[in-house]
Structure 1
Amino acid sequence: MNNKTLFEKIWDKHVIKKIEGGPSVLYIDTHFIHEVTSPQAFKGLEKRGLPVFRPKQVVATADHNVPTLHQELPIKEELSRIQVQTLKDNCEKFGVELYGLGHPYQGIVHVIGPELGVTQPGGTYVCGDSHTSTHGAFGSIAFGIGTSEVEMVLATQCLLQSKPKLMRINVDGNLNKGVTSKDIVLYVIAKITASGATGYAVEFAGSAIRALSMEARMTICNMSIEMGARCGMIAPDETTFTYVKGREFAPKDAEWDKKLAEWKTLYSDEGAAFDKEYHFKAEDIEPMITYGTNPGMGIGVTGHVPQLSEINAKDKPSFEKSIDYMGLHAGENIKGHKVDYVFIGSCTNSRIEDLRQVAAFVKGKKKADDVTVWIVPGSKQVEAQAKEEGIDKIFEAAGFQLRQPGCSACLGMNEDKIPAGKYCISTSNRNFEGRQGPNARTMLASPLTAAAAAVTGVISDVRELI
């Protein structure tokens, strides 16, 4: 009997044709698009006189360029305005459903797919956005593609893909208080480096992973791309099925029963072969924070910026350039470092659970006077839920600003930029130079660690404040 991994079970079912000595033609179940990587693809279709092959399998939303204040007004930034309008025009022209500004389903593409029940176990999902790996939390194959590939999927609902190598990362045991799924993934990336999973599809497994909620699992798969992985995935289980059931586009009635029976077969068989495997203990993980300019430059909050002697010779020049950009020094403790901005949002950590966690921590507290705090929900639905639960009032009382949905300060592509030289504790996924605005200094952390910094004004160990 052929023992298969979760990845192989889904991959094999979606391969339409194998090209001898080349890639495979892979069928794509759902194609997510947004305003940044779709205009050139639609232009390509127009040039060739081609329609969108299966418009019902394309889901569009505006997220990267949208302002997060006064969304009812025309967009101020010219490029952003043009991109959002172009998406609207293209969707109308090609018959694609658009959840644009003002639509109750609008939001960050990787937040709305799961919350609408579009993302389901066993499927293949692509988007012209690297963090498409988020959807793998449901036990599916999901990855980012380039603009020419966006065009290929729009035209054919298929993609040329080479099968990646397979890796399994096991995290077993119980997390300590104040430690979240964001800390797990930052810890793993710090251990295996930002290129440690290059060329691999990564399955996350182990008791600590199985104990996580769906939203926490999405955070882990979202950041699998930050260790170089092609995609990240977690086998579906009761947690997954309960989350999907009853959502807008989830299967109903007899179709649900049929799908559920299929989904229950989606796991890596005993004895299935992985090219590489890692094991980590949940107890070893403390609240994490990055100090450098790639997501692998992370340390526990009680740790110090590495000494030069702790860095490989070949990595020393980039390490020195990185801490110079960040205005830090080798060997200094990270705890107690001044913070200017706190950004809680992005496709990594802008779901209702993230907001609930922050609200529970800050209730009755106030932000530090010299810290600006932006909380940006991942979708209109998350925003509405936060208001329904009174979370907005807790934030308001604490001096936190709850904005409108969008990618916001995750990337300097809209009005929400961090000023040059300022330190921002961010719950997003990337801390590259200039990612949040020219010369902005980004430190990645969990929503809890970000909230602790908002209240104290410095990097703090949330475990001491809970």
Structure 2
Amino acid sequence: MTRQRKTLFDKIWDAHVVKSSEGHPDAVYIDRHFIHEVTSPQAFDGLRKRNVKVFNPSRTTATADHNVPTIDQHLPIKEALSRHQVETLRKNCKDFGVELYDLGHPYQGIVHIIGPELGLTLPGMTIVCGDSHTSTHGAFGNIAFGIGTSEVEQVLATQCVLQYRPKTMLIDISGTLSKGVVAKDIILYIISKLSASGATGYFVEYAGDAIRNLSMEARMTICNMSIEMGARGGLIAPDETTFNYIKGRKFAPQGDTFDRMVEQWRQLKSDPDAEYDEVVRFDAGDIAPMITYGTNPGMGMKVTDRIPTLNELKDITEQPSFSKSLEYMGLQPGAAILGQAVDYVFIGSCTNARIEDLRLVASMVKGKKKASNVEVWVVPGSKQVEKQAREEGLDKIFEAAGFQLRQPGCSACLGMNEDKIPAGKYCISTSNRNFEGRQGPKSRTFLASPLSAAAAAITGKVTDVRELV
């Protein structure tokens, strides 16, 4: 479908279509392919069986993140499956000539954090990874989305991927954010309004002055969770904030080349009156500190609200899953969560493990002590974030508060490594998913912002952060 007035998504997609045939998926060229240890082994095995090389190794970047421990990374990995996954990644990258940022490397970290901080993620690109939260990179004004293992093999072999063109949605957030409200609250609010499937089939562009006023790291948090409302991905048009963030980074264009690229990047915006398939608008002033109460990210509410009752659900067909979810969480319809005791606080993941997130937490807890009933893990998203946190003295603030500052990795975002929340325990998490067992078998997860997580760490319970700010 050709539009007269194009969205930013349309412009980037059209520029990367290698072949298009009606009724079939487009063959889309991929500028940057990120891989990690979980979704790449079968793809490399497929290449071996067909005796195919990686088409362009220089456009593929690998790191170890999902299965890695966050303590004693210099020692062999204890869990046998995790150790095997990481060792397999090492062998595959060596055999196929792919750059790997392994444990101990100064650039190692969560795949969606190292790309932007190294200057590998740039406006106007197409970016894929065998990971659903690849949409994070869309904060820079590019098309970034997660792909399956068979598609990882496609990209390794051809530097292209077959994809049906998604529909487009504009989400406009305008107005002024209230005290204590940060980027994670914005995206949790949006998902609570649209539901966990409300953007299925769409690629979302986030716009409006509330979005435009966010830092790059905050924009990454917004785009990161696009998948949690079913969207294929999310993006934000680049601007001076974007260009200033990229400038001087390790693999970003330098000098005159950078200046020329910025002039090109300035053109990356939707046309006036561009045609979207769906437009949604929200008032930033209505957004409050948010928290989830169920087992999908759409089951969220303002921290001062009460859990809905069965009769308050918009769709009667949701009642069985709603009841099952609350039973799993040990919560009651119509009850408040404010004041609910928590056992663990996890600050990390590709959603909220950047240096700004750690600074936010440190600003909240400086001079305070964690509650005696809570264990707190702070897991930086990369070696560079860890290094910067230590250089700024954040590690001392965390240590004095009784928080554990660990080494980089996906950690307790998902139960795929040693950092698991025990069965039945409640965890306030800055990650992106609260599915049953996501953080460990029978663990219970409340999703919230870094500020809200820090407040819970200090009080030992779900707290309205506005009372402490």
Q: TM-score, normalised by structure 1?
A: 0.99
Superposition map of 1:366-405 within 5 A: 366-405=369-408
Alignment partners' CA distance in 2, 1:309 and 1:43: 51
Runs of 4+ in 1 over 2 A off after TM superposition: none
Q: Does 1:448 align with 2:460?
A: no
The one-letter code matched in structure 2 to 1:199 is G
1:167-188 deviation per Cα after TM superposition (whole angstroms, max 9, x unaligned): 0000001111110000000000
Alignment partners' CA distance in 2, 1:201 and 1:142: 10
Give the percent of matched residue pairs that are identical in Structure 1 and Structure 2: 71
Of the three residues 403, 413, 429, the one matched with 2:416 is 413
The answer for the alignment partner of 1:45 in structure 2 is 47
Superposition map of 1:68-87 within 5 A: 68-87=70-89
The answer for the alignment partner of 1:361 in structure 2 is 364
Superposition map of 1:175-214 within 5 A: 175-214=177-216
The answer for the alignment partner of 2:277 in structure 1 is 275
Residue 91 of structure 1: SS of its match in structure 2?
Answer: helix
Superposition map of 1:325-336 within 5 A: 325-336=328-339
The answer for the alignment partner of 1:436 in structure 2 is 439
1:404-434 deviation per Cα after TM superposition (whole angstroms, max 9, x unaligned): 0000000000000000000000000000000
1:140-163 deviation per Cα after TM superposition (whole angstroms, max 9, x unaligned): 000000000000000000011111
The answer for the alignment partner of 1:88 in structure 2 is 90
Superposition map of 1:253-264 within 5 A: 253-264=255-266
The answer for the alignment partner of 1:5 in structure 2 is 7
1:48-105 deviation per Cα after TM superposition (whole angstroms, max 9, x unaligned): 0011000000000000000000000000000000000000000000000000000000
Alignment partners' CA distance in 2, 1:258 and 1:58: 24
Alignment partners' CA distance in 2, 1:211 and 1:20: 40
Deviation of 1:307 after TM superposition, in Å, equals 1.3
Residue 244 of structure 2: SS of its match in structure 1?
Answer: helix
The answer for the alignment partner of 1:131 in structure 2 is 133
Alignment partners' CA distance in 2, 1:201 and 1:309: 32
Deviation of 1:205 after TM superposition, in Å, equals 0.2
Alignment partners' CA distance in 2, 1:359 and 1:48: 51
Alignment partners' CA distance in 2, 1:419 and 1:17: 50
Alignment partners' CA distance in 1, 2:22 and 2:201: 20
Deviation of 1:238 after TM superposition, in Å, equals 0.3
The one-letter code matched in structure 2 to 1:180 is V
The answer for the alignment partner of 1:101 in structure 2 is 103
The answer for the alignment partner of 2:430 in structure 1 is 427
The answer for the alignment partner of 2:312 in structure 1 is 310
Residue 76 of structure 2: SS of its match in structure 1?
Answer: coil
Alignment partners' CA distance in 1, 2:160 and 2:142: 16
Alignment partners' CA distance in 1, 2:392 and 2:247: 22
What is the aligned residue count? 466
The answer for the alignment partner of 1:156 in structure 2 is 158
Deviation of 1:244 after TM superposition, in Å, equals 0.4
Alignment partners' CA distance in 1, 2:66 and 2:190: 27
The answer for the alignment partner of 1:337 in structure 2 is 340
Alignment partners' CA distance in 2, 1:451 and 1:26: 42
The one-letter code matched in structure 1 to 2:90 is K
Alignment partners' CA distance in 2, 1:200 and 1:82: 37
Deviation of 1:256 after TM superposition, in Å, equals 1.0
The answer for the alignment partner of 2:63 in structure 1 is 61
Deviation of 1:21 after TM superposition, in Å, equals 1.7
Alignment partners' CA distance in 2, 1:324 and 1:330: 10
Deviation of 1:259 after TM superposition, in Å, equals 1.1
The answer for the alignment partner of 1:242 in structure 2 is 244
The answer for the alignment partner of 1:222 in structure 2 is 224
Residue 133 of structure 2: SS of its match in structure 1?
Answer: helix
Alignment partners' CA distance in 1, 2:440 and 2:258: 45
Q: TM-score, normalised by structure 2?
A: 0.99
Alignment partners' CA distance in 2, 1:26 and 1:60: 21
Alignment partners' CA distance in 1, 2:318 and 2:19: 42
Of the three residues 23, 27, 33, the one matched with 2:25 is 23
Deviation of 1:2 after TM superposition, in Å, equals 2.9
Alignment partners' CA distance in 2, 1:220 and 1:20: 33
The one-letter code matched in structure 1 to 2:56 is R
Residue 112 of structure 1: SS of its match in structure 2?
Answer: helix
Deviation of 1:313 after TM superposition, in Å, equals 1.3
The one-letter code matched in structure 1 to 2:78 is K
Deviation of 1:20 after TM superposition, in Å, equals 2.8
Query: Structure 2, unaligned stretches of length 5 or more?
Result: none
Alignment partners' CA distance in 1, 2:403 and 2:178: 27
Let me know the Cα RMSD of the aligned residues.
0.7
Alignment partners' CA distance in 2, 1:254 and 1:455: 49
Alignment partners' CA distance in 1, 2:161 and 2:228: 23
Alignment partners' CA distance in 2, 1:40 and 1:406: 22
Deviation of 1:39 after TM superposition, in Å, equals 0.3
Residue 328 of structure 2: SS of its match in structure 1?
Answer: helix
The one-letter code matched in structure 1 to 2:113 is V
The answer for the alignment partner of 1:297 in structure 2 is 299
Alignment partners' CA distance in 2, 1:227 and 1:424: 22
1:328-352 deviation per Cα after TM superposition (whole angstroms, max 9, x unaligned): 0001111000100000000000000
The one-letter code matched in structure 2 to 1:162 is Y
Residue 8 of structure 1: SS of its match in structure 2?
Answer: helix
Alignment partners' CA distance in 2, 1:381 and 1:176: 31
Residue 234 of structure 2: SS of its match in structure 1?
Answer: strand
1:13-70 deviation per Cα after TM superposition (whole angstroms, max 9, x unaligned): 0001102321111000000000000000000000000110000000000000000000
1:273-304 deviation per Cα after TM superposition (whole angstroms, max 9, x unaligned): 00000000111011000000000000101011
The one-letter code matched in structure 2 to 1:382 is V
